[in-house]
């Protein structure tokens, strides 16, 4: 029966010989698939005491959410349903899916409008690139060695890498790099290269480094020392010195933050290098990876900032492409000295290329988006955007302080840290990132003064409700952002 259906489906344009081959008598269709739809897996009821999905994210009395590890939530899931036999005729399924997508689009519009907490530049227009979405563009292998897979965008990728290498002052023939899937991958790569150069090295990272740095240490089973930070969030080089002196016989691999996740603090690269030198670490006994996920593209345009440049003894720099750059899909850029990549790379015959990346397949669309936006904005365009972000960040910090709200802004940063709003609904509405008693807004190019005003007005309103009966007081955040920035009843 299946074979009859098959032969009916064969194209009329086929010759007799072609039809005979495709209708081979020795091909048993049931050997391929007998039942395509797997049965639903029955619940054993053993969910470690969890009886329904609502238990997975528990709400505390103040509305705060607590995530319980080891349980998954399925309540917000859009089920995939098997098409009905007559769907082809009625188009019901198509109509259902179109309605779901239209609703989803509306949600995205609304959520984009109320987004302030994560460092994503949501201001872009990539309409010109929609013509490419029908292609499966994949840059697997080494960007500089074309593989056998022809549907790639390596020419765009290398153009983007050249642009960043120039920004961070490394000559074309002196660098190696690739477009990663995100800033995390850049950290995983940079730290792995450091480990390959110094297999017995110790990884040093300030305790305010991104979690991906500590994940790298666990993945590579590296000894990792968490260095103390100053109240600004910068690495404390006095503590760094003590740790280096205690481990003088082991090479050092250092993660330097060019913008920490929560406070936007920029580690003093020059002081880190000076500390290494003063502790007797010659340049061939340390490897510095600069995590510029957040500010890697902003810092070159900030006058007072420590310069990130390969003229200094650093090994690699990474940046996220979907943050300040404004790429609509997660991606990143990794640039490093070419001499170190050999420690990592291996030839892969079936690719006809070389493997030196963390991932295998790589998103070939991302380099085109990056290439497009870098071409449109140029170094000068980014400089203007940085200026605007810093100005708006100062505006937000000043207005928060004027309203009596604790707030801090690091000099080189557009991340405004302030007292965590007590109203969890407000936190979710504006998608604020919170840690302990503090929250932050990351002022990106799409954040206008009008948006900040709307946010501020709402914050002042909900805050007055939270503290209206005097039962609770604004929290003290002196230990997080310093007494001079704290406006709690004690420090005000």
Ligand X SMILES: Cc1ncc(COP(=O)(O)O)c(C=O)c1O
Q: Please state the φ and ψ torsions of residue 479, each to the nearest 5 degrees.
A: -70, -25
Among 183, 201, 315, 474, binds ligand X (CB under 6 A): 183
Among 206, 212, 353, 363, binds ligand X (CB under 6 A): 212
Rounded Cα distance between 229 and 267, Å, is 9
Count Cα atoms within 13 angstroms, Cβ side, for 412: 26
Angle (nearest 5°) at CA 298 between 295 and 301: 145
- With H, G, I as helix, E, B as strand and everything else as coil, classify residue 70: coil
**Per-residue mark of binding to ligand X, 447-476 (x: CB under 6 A):** ------------------------------
Return the closest-CA partner of residue 260 out of 287, 286, 240, 231: 231
Work out whether strand 316-320 and strand 286-291 pair parallel, antiparallel, or are unpaired: parallel
* Contact stretch for ligand X (CB under 6 A) within 49-57, 147-155, 290-298, 483-491: 290-298
Q: Which of residues 295-324 bind ligand X (CB under 6 A)?
A: 320
Alpha helices (runs of H) in 403-471, residue ranges in sequence order: 424-429, 449-466
Q: Which is nearer to ligand X, 291 or 423 (CB)?
A: 291
Return the closest-CA partner of residue 193 out of 294, 310, 337, 308: 337
**Per-residue mark of binding to ligand X, 239-268 (x: CB under 6 A):** ------------------x-xxx-------
Q: Which is nearer to ligand X, 290 or 456 (CB)?
A: 290
Q: CB 319 → ligand X: shortest distance, Å? A: 9
210 makes contact with ligand X (CB under 6 A): yes
In the numeric block, the tokens 């940085």 are attached to 386
Rounded Cα distance between 181 and 176, Å, is 16
Rounded Cα distance between 287 and 290, Å, is 10
* Contact stretch for ligand X (CB under 6 A) within 192-200, 291-299, 350-358, 468-476: 291-299
Residues that contact ligand X, how many (by CB under 6 A): 16
Rounded Cα distance between 162 and 175, Å, is 9
Q: Is 413 a catalytic residue?
A: yes
* Contact stretch for ligand X (CB under 6 A) within 101-109, 286-294, 391-399, 484-492: 286-294
Rounded Cα distance between 455 and 233, Å, is 25
* Contact stretch for ligand X (CB under 6 A) within 107-115, 154-162, 289-297, 383-391: 289-297
Among 179, 222, 279, 293, binds ligand X (CB under 6 A): 293
294 makes contact with ligand X (CB under 6 A): yes
**33 Rama sector, left if φ>0, alpha if ψ -120 to 50, beta otherwise:** beta
332 makes contact with ligand X (CB under 6 A): yes
Give the residue at shortest CB distance from ligand X.
183
Options 316, 353, 406, 413, the catalytic residue: 413
Q: CB 417 → ligand X: shortest distance, Å? A: 14
Q: Which is nearer to ligand X, 154 or 322 (CB)?
A: 322
Q: CB 217 → ligand X: shortest distance, Å? A: 14
Return the closest-CA partner of residue 267 out of 311, 205, 222, 317: 205
Q: Which helix (H) or strand (E) holds 204?
A: strand 202-206
Q: CB 318 → ligand X: shortest distance, Å? A: 8
Residues at the interface with ligand X (CB under 6 A): 182-184, 187, 210, 212, 257, 259-261, 291, 293-294, 320, 330, 332
Question: Which residues have a catalytic role annotated?
Answer: 413
């Amino acid at each position: 029966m299946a074979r009859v259906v098959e032969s009916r489906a064969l194209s009329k344009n086929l010759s007799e010989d072609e039809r005979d081959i495709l209708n081979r008598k020795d091909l048993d269709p049931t050997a391929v698939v007998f039942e395509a739809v797997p049965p639903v897996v029955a619940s054993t009821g053993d969910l470690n005491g969890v009886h329904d999905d609502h238990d997975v994210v528990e709400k505390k009395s103040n509305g705060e959410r607590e995530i319980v590890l080891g349980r998954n939530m399925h309540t917000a899931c859009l089920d995939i349903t098997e098409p009905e036999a007559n769907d082809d005729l009625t188009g019901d399924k198509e109509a259902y899916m179109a309605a779901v997508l239209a609703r989803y689009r509306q949600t995205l519009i609304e959520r984009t409008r109320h987004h302030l907490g994560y460092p994503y530049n949501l201001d872009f227009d990539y309409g010109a690139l929609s013509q490419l979405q029908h292609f499966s563009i994949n840059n697997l292998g080494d960007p500089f060695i074309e593989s056998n897979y022809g549907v790639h965008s390596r020419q765009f990728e290398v153009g983007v890498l050249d642009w960043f290498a120039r920004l961070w002052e490394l000559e074309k023939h002196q660098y190696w790099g690739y477009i990663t899937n995100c800033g995390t991958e850049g950290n995983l790569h940079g730290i792995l290269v450091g480990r390959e150069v110094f297999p017995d090295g110790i990884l040093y990272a300030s305790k305010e480094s991104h979690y991906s740095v500590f994940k790298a240490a666990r993945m590579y089973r590296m000894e990792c020392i968490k260095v103390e930070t100053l109240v600004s969030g910068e690495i404390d080089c006095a503590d760094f010195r003590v740790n280096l002196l205690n481990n003088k016989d082991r090479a050092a691999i250092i993660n330097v933050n060019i913008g920490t996740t929560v406070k936007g603090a920029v580690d003093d690269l020059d002081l880190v290098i000076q500390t290494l030198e003063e502790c007797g670490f010659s340049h061939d006994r340390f490897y510095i990876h600069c995590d510029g996920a957040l500010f890697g593209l902003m810092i070159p345009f900030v006058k007072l900032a420590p310069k990130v440049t390969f003229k200094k003894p650093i090994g690699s720099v990474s940046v996220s492409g979907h943050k300040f750059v404004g790429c609509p899909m997660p991606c990143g850029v990794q640039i490093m000295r070419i001499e170190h990549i050999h420690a990592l790379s291996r030839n892969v015959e079936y690719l006809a290329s070389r493997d030196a990346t963390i991932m295998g397949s790589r998103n070939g669309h991302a380099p085109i988006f990056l290439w497009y936006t870098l071409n449109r904005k140029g170094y000068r365009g980014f400089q203007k955007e940085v200026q605007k972000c810093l100005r708006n960040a100062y505006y937000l910090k000043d207005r928060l302080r004027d309203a009596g709200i604790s707030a801090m802004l690091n000099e080189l940063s557009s991340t405004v840290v302030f007292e965590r709003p007590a109203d969890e609904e407000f936190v979710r509405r504006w998608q604020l990132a919170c840690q302990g008693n503090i929250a932050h807004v990351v002022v990106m190019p799409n954040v206008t003064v009008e948006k900040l005003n709307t946010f501020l007005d709402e914050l002042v309103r909900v805050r007055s409700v939270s503290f209206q009966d005097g039962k609770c007081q604004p929290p003290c955040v002196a230990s997080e952002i310093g007494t001079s920035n704290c406006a709690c009843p004690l420090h005000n």
